[in-house]
Amino acid sequence: MEQNVQCVIVKVQNEQFGINIRQVRCIEPLQNITSIPKVPSYVKGITNLRGSMIPVIDLRERLSLGTASYTKQARLVVVIIRGMEVGLIVEAANEIINIDYNQIDTAPDIIKDNKMEFIQGLAKAKGGILILLDVEKLLFTEGNDFCLEQLTAPKTR
């Protein structure tokens, strides 16, 4: 049985978040994004990544941490969830770390009670607290104001 989890550390609004490396396909420089009408502001649009059209989400806005302009350090973290590739815009993605399961605490009840079930846990790492994200719940949980499946659901007439 595994005793640790590998996470890609991403920076968003001066906070560090961890995304399980098993969900990450690649990390790319930010590229051209084509806007889509009538979607929440955190859905930035679609980008063409090596011939695949993938939806792009601004992680800062999705986490309700405000908006910001993108710098040269901004990255597109491409995750695979439910067989679908999704790009997450982050301010930086600089390293991969191993976190011992004993260093991971469950999210406090106040977080669970505030529609933040996408916080998988909190880890003591890198001299501070690392917020571990459940990317599937962040993107696909029903009851969110927008569910990514709406972008890919078949149209009915």
Reported as a single tens digit per residue, the pLDDT across 39-75 is 888 999 999 999 999 999 999 999 889 887 888 999 9
The average pLDDT across 26-47 equals: 92
152 falls within a domain: no
Q: Based on the structure, what is the number of domains in the chain?
A: 1
Q: Which two tokens stand for residue 9?
A: 């550390």
Write the single-letter amino acid at 53: M
What letters, b where the CB count within 10 A reaches 16 and e where it falls short, cover 122-144? bbebeeeebbbbbbbebbbeeeb
Categorise residue 62: left if φ over 0, alpha if ψ from -120 to 50, beta otherwise.
alpha
Whether residue 26 has pLDDT greater than 90: yes
Question: Are residues 33 and 74 in contact, defined by beta-carbon separation less than 8 angstroms?
Answer: no
Q: Is 93 exposed, middle or buried (0-12, 13-18, 19+ CB in 10 A)?
A: buried
Q: 139 lies in a domain?
A: yes
Q: pLDDT class for 157, splitting at 50, 70, 90?
A: very low
Segments forming the whole domain that contains residue 74: 4-143
- In this structure, is residue 157 part of a structural domain? no
Asked, for residue 149, whether it belongs to a domain, the answer is no
Per-residue pLDDT reduced to its tens digit, 93-152: 989 999 988 888 887 766 655 567 788 889 987 778 899 999 988 887 655 545 555 555
Distance (Å) of CA 110 to CA 14, 113, 114: 22, 5, 6
CATH number where 23 lies: 2.40.50.180
